[in-house]
Structure 1
Amino acid sequence: MSDLVARTGRHQQRYEQGHRLVAGCIPYKYRYSNGNSGGKRKRAVEVLMINTPSGPGLLFPKGGWENDETVEDAAEREALEEAGVRGEIKELLGHYYFKSRTHKDEFCPDGSCNAAMFPLLVKEELSTWPEQGTRQRKWLTVPEALEQCRHSWMKEALATGFSRWHAAHAADDDD
């Protein structure tokens, strides 16, 4: 998989109304266990989070949305680059606004960002990925993820956006 390389630079970065446009996802999968009654298997959702070299806590994969891709493509690319997973992108959870301390530039001097977040049903976990040297991934239950999540806007995306979406659409996912 040496052909997988993370994109770098800002020359293709999208901006709108003073915000850097960001795309991200909440990668998820199901863990199955044997149930107590009649051998029926129980299904629990887990989400994938990654660490960051810039501080404590865990994050969901996200990054700049570039001019040559759709927002869904950008979210899938970030999941591959940062977490080493591929999957099926689902419908938009919502837009979340935050200020980045590390990504300020001439188009967005205060670091304002608008993140489009999506659920991503993980179909493949790669053994090697572009940012594996600086990031580790960790599967967590939703309550564990809420506890370990570094940013309040990501907690909101998980607690409201993802949880509401998952309650309405979990039955749609193939077993």
Structure 2
Amino acid sequence: MKSAKPGVRPDAGKSETLLQQLAQTPDALFGKGFGQQYGALCFRYKEDRSEIEILVVTSRGSRRWVIPKGWPMKGKKPYEAAAVEAWEEAGVRGRVKKDPVGRYTYLKELSEGNVTPCIVELFQIEVTEISPNFKERGQRVLDWFSPSEAARRVREIELKSLLISFKPDLRKRQG
């Protein structure tokens, strides 16, 4: 009998969750380790500067709310890769903190129905520039929310916790 690709059952239906599929093929979850990604926790102050808003964008495929993130980039430090993702996915630039402000895990859906677990290191970006013209314009929806509303909209439990508890660190900013 010919075996299916790791991480996908040939009869896996749309009604099954990713976790249900992975429970039946644990080698897909634990066999290759975790992928590394870098994410941008983009924020801005409201007009009176008493509160912040956090940027969330929709993913291109499932249209669920996420934060800008992506794979490592050759020749770029992790915080630089996060800043590139924020620019390409949402058209925002700003002051980037070089040290991660947190990390979370999630299951990345790849092509052909495969999934891989990923660890996302988050880098804080205080947004100072917003452009209407960016690489993925028209492919994503973006919006600004209070930390609690941003947390309500994303799916990943660890990311929810990071967004709710996020307090900007304004020391050692990178411009």
| TM-score (normalised: structure 1) | 0.70
Q: Does 1:142 align with 2:147?
A: yes
Q: Does 1:64 align with 2:71?
A: yes
How many residues are paired up?
Answer: 141
Unaligned runs of 5+ in 2: 1-31
Q: Does 1:24 align with 2:26?
A: no
Name which of 149, 154, 157 aligns with 1:152.
157
Moved over 6 A (4+): none
User: SS state of the match for residue 55, structure 1?
Assistant: coil
Verify the 8 A CA contact 2:148 2:163 in the aligned structure 1: no
Q: Report the counterpart of residue 43 of structure 1 in structure 2.
A: 50
Verify the 8 A CA contact 2:110 2:116 in the aligned structure 1: yes
Query: How big is the alpha-carbon RMSD for the aligned residues of Structure 1 and Structure 2?
Result: 2.5
Aligned residues with identical type, % of pairs: 25
Name which of 122, 125, 129 aligns with 1:117.
122
Deviation per residue, 1:124-169 (Å, 9 max, x gap): 0011000012012101111111111132232133134xx2x43xx3
Q: Of the two, which has the highest radius of gyration?
A: 2
Higher strand proportion: 1
Q: Does 1:101 align with 2:116?
A: no
Taking the aligned partners of 2:172 and 2:46, their CA distance within structure 1 comes to: 16
Taking the aligned partners of 2:37 and 2:115, their CA distance within structure 1 comes to: 15
User: SS state of the match for residue 139, structure 1?
Assistant: strand
Unaligned runs of 5+ in 1: 1-16, 34-41
Shift of 1:68: 2.0
User: SS state of the match for residue 132, structure 2?
Assistant: coil
| TM-score (normalised: structure 2) | 0.70
